[in-house]
Each structure stands twice: as C-alpha cells, then as structure tokens.
Amino acid sequence: MISPPAGVRIWLAAGATDMRRGFDGLASLVAQQLNHDPFSGQIFAFRGRKGHLIKLLFWDGQGLVLYAKRLERGHFVWPSASEGGGAVSLTPAQLAMLTEGIDWRMPMRTWRPEMTV
C-alpha cells in the first residue's frame, strides 16, 4: 500500500458496507453517515459483509482515489456498527497492519527479550 502523507486522519466506517459501491456511492456514505467531507484529504476505509474485501477512499488534491484489497485467506479485523458508533480513527501504522490482514487492535510482538545485559 502507498503510505499516507503525515498528519492525514484515517477513518474506518464501522459495520459492513455494500462493496458494489464505487467512488460516488462511498463518497455519499462519508458525507451522509460519517458526517465528514469526502474531499478533505482524509482516508476512509470500508469493509464488506464477508470481511475479505476492503476499499479505501481519499481525495489526493486532483481527484478521488479508490484503493481495493481482497485477502485470499482470512479476513480484515473490523469494529461492528454497535461498538464503533459510525467511524473509528486509526493511525497510519494501524492502517498498514489492517491492510496486511493483521489484527490492528492488539498487535503482538513476535519476540520478547529473555534477559537484560
């Protein structure tokens, strides 16, 4: 994934989204359901009902960009509509984990130091 510019806000739309939606449909969801401006330069992420497909929508200053990723195995970890309350904010590091299929809510280190020097 192309890394977002510094200072960009990233929002997950809690719950499932109809993934047949394209640029205009997702921009409409951002404006009406999330109460954000889709042309603000922020990144908005959506996940389908099955959980293996996400779409990211953002304005790059010249036009809307739609990034899609489908996992061949596993699913993207996502907040439900009841726990998210509409949208959940992520850091760029959490977005990177999310797009790799890693649980961004509580990442685990793969090693632990055994003794100090």
Domain membership of residue 106 (yes or no) is: no
Domain extent at residue 34: 10-99
The domain tally of the chain equals 1
Domain membership of residue 113 (yes or no) is: no
Domain membership of residue 17 (yes or no) is: yes
What pTM value is reported for the model?
0.83
Domain membership of residue 1 (yes or no) is: no
Domain membership of residue 68 (yes or no) is: yes
Three-class secondary structure assignment of the chain: CCCCCCCCCEEEECCCCCCCCCHHHHHHHHHHCCCCCCCCCCEEEEECCCCCEEEEEEECCCCEEEEEEECCCCCCCCCCHHHHCCEEEECHHHHHHHHCCCCCCCCCCCCCCCCCC
Tokens encoding 64 = 């809307």
Domain membership of residue 4 (yes or no) is: no
Domain membership of residue 82 (yes or no) is: yes
Longest dimension (CA), the chain: 57
pLDDT at 5: 76
pLDDT at 82: 65
pLDDT in single tens digits along all 117 residues of the chain: 567 777 899 999 988 999 999 999 999 999 998 999 999 999 999 999 999 999 999 999 999 999 999 999 888 888 876 655 688 888 888 888 888 888 888 766 656 667 776
pLDDT at 87: 86
Domain membership of residue 115 (yes or no) is: no
